[in-house]
Amino acid sequence: MGEKKQGNLMKSFIDYFYGNFVVLLLGFISLPLITRVLDTDEYGRTALFTSAVTVIYIFAILGLDQAYIRFFYKKGINRRRLFLQCLIPPAVIVLFLTTAYMFGADTFNRLLFGKSSLDVSLLVIGYTIISVFERFLFLNIRMEQRGKLYSNLNILSKVLNVSLIILFAVRLGNDFRVVLYAMTLSLGIVTLIVGIRYLFKVRREDTGTVDEKAAISEKELLRYGVPFIMMLMMEWLLSSMDKWSIRIFCDFDETGIYSAAMQIMTVLLTFKITFVAFWSPVAMEKYEKETEEVNKLFFADIFRKVQFLCVVAAFGLTICRGLIVLILGKNFRGAISVIPFLSLMPILSILFEMVVQGIKFKQQLRYINYASVAAILCNLIGNTLLVPILGGRGAAMATAFTYIVYFLIGTYFSEKCYPVGYPIRTFMISLVLYIGYAAFATFWTTEWISIVTGIVLLALVCVLNRVVIADLWKFARGLLPHPEKKEH
């Protein structure tokens, strides 16, 4: 890959990342603010709110967001028509599902949150409906590869969220509705802005000559999108089954501590969200426009670099977890033993998104479903066995090993569909080293010994990836401005 192309790719990634980096910094303001306003019980309820609305969202969206990504770059496609084809069915379904929820809202709310009120029901409904529109409007920005706009909107959303948390905390105090109101209103305001922008944009655009042969039928869109429901359900289960297991086997207090540790994962989840937003359109565009030989070299090279950075980030987060947990407040200090294994979740999510592109290219989505079923079973068994004994630590371990299974099966089937030759062996050695360190850090109480052990193992990972480090250093130097040599 040429230096110019690498520079353009890095510039595109930075356009996406800087907004999420600011969001990350704002998150470090909002998280201790929330954990000091809410006790562990109330904080645990906010996590279950997110879990509840996500289920409704998954079944409403029908995987049509993935269909929008898949066919956006198809030659001759009418993108305005494609947008409406993908948006309207989920919008209708979510209205139906939220209406059905309203009839049993009191029962559902007491099951989920241990309490119920009309505004909680309206917040569940409002957040879910807005999420559907937000998904497609933001997806349109991503597919246009408008990284700066995407970043600025994310910053605006987080600023609104922090401001609304302060406002409702003053009014409601120690009440989980503080977070619910802030999430729903901030999402609604930003979605309204993006929606208005989209309407003005499509009015200005001339659709020009459109190839009707390139048009995609609703049936074809659903055939591609519906299999993603299983994948999304798997992701929901992986992000929620641990909390539900703790809720069933423990209490809201333990759920709150675990959820706080999960929030700390935003350090790595920020990279995941940014990378997925950046990578999906880039990978799909390259598949449609470049030769197979060029693409395979490109995908393998990017994987080598990303896997190393992911492992370094996981080590760094676990080594520094003692300092990070200080921001949560004394009631949430138990999160320190949950972080090591939880750190595997975002890094394996990033790498999974990279390797399964081959499955999406060839539209063999049943393979993602196979990986999903195996991961769900692994997660269910792991939580059932470990949570009653180890609480949040057990849930984190179950989640980590589930993602390992998910990644490995996804990689196997993706290589079967579109063999790239990813350097998996090097990554697996680094992964084994990190798993050993995570187990040590989870159960070893002496902090300084844990830190020294982490630094030693990280050094081994660096030695193992010394060629990657050299490539990254060379690439970084190439991005810096070079002073012109004076002629004598």
Among 255, 242, 263, 249, CA closest to 113:
255
Distance CA 140, CA 35 (A): 34
| Local structure of 216: helix, strand or coil | coil
CA distances from 172 to 152, 165, 166, 175, 180 (A): 30, 10, 10, 6, 12
Number of helices (H) and strands (E) in the chain: give both, helices first.
22, 0
Per-residue pLDDT of the chain (488 residues), as tens digits, is 455 455 455 556 666 566 666 776 776 677 677 767 777 677 667 777 777 777 777 888 888 888 888 888 777 778 888 899 999 999 998 888 888 888 888 888 887 777 778 888 898 889 989 999 999 998 888 888 787 788 788 888 888 988 888 888 888 888 888 888 998 999 999 999 999 999 988 887 655 455 556 677 888 888 888 877 876 776 677 666 666 666 666 655 666 666 666 666 665 666 676 677 677 777 777 777 777 788 888 888 888 888 998 899 889 888 888 776 676 656 556 667 788 898 888 888 889 888 888 887 787 878 887 888 888 888 889 888 888 888 778 888 988 998 899 899 989 998 888 888 888 898 999 999 999 999 998 887 677 888 899 999 999 999 999 988 888 888 767 655 555 544 44
Q: Are 329 and 32 in contact (CB under 8 A)?
A: yes
Q: For the CA atoms of 143, 145, 147, 153, what is the dihedral angle to 10 degrees?
A: -40
Q: Are 24 and 270 in contact (CB under 8 A)?
A: yes
pLDDT recorded at residue 244: 62
Residue matched to tokens 């992701």? 235
Distance CA 78, CA 206 (A): 11
Q: Are 406 and 374 in contact (CB under 8 A)?
A: yes
pLDDT recorded at residue 473: 84
Distance CA 484, CA 465 (A): 33
Which amino acid belongs to residue 307?
A: Q
> Six-digit token pair at 382?
């792991």
pLDDT recorded at residue 430: 93
Q: Are 461 and 311 in contact (CB under 8 A)?
A: yes
pLDDT recorded at residue 481: 56
pLDDT recorded at residue 459: 95
Q: Are 357 and 292 in contact (CB under 8 A)?
A: no
pLDDT recorded at residue 487: 47
Distance CA 389, CA 48 (A): 22
Distance CA 83, CA 87 (A): 6
- 285 burial via Cβ count (<10 Å: 0-12, 13-18, 19+): middle
Residue matched to tokens 């670099």? 305
> Six-digit token pair at 24?
């990350």
| Local structure of 469: helix, strand or coil | helix
Q: How far apart are the first and last CA of the chain?
A: 35
Distance CA 74, CA 285 (A): 9
pTM of the model: 0.66
pLDDT recorded at residue 428: 93
Question: Which long-range contacts does 465-470 make (Cβ < 8 Å, 24+ apart)?
Answer: 465/308, 465/426, 465/430, 468/304, 468/305, 468/308, 469/308
Distance CA 372, CA 378 (A): 10
| Chain centre distance of CA 195 | 23
pLDDT recorded at residue 1: 47
**DSSP 8-state secondary structure symbol assigned to residue 74:** S
Give residues with Cβ within 8 angstroms of 160, minimum separation 6: 185, 186, 189, 190
CA distances from 254 to 46, 141, 258, 334 (A): 13, 39, 6, 9
Q: Treating both helix axes as pointing N-terminal to C-terminal, what angle do 292-319 and 344-355 enclose, rounded to 10 degrees? A: 180
- 467 burial via Cβ count (<10 Å: 0-12, 13-18, 19+): exposed
pLDDT recorded at residue 238: 65
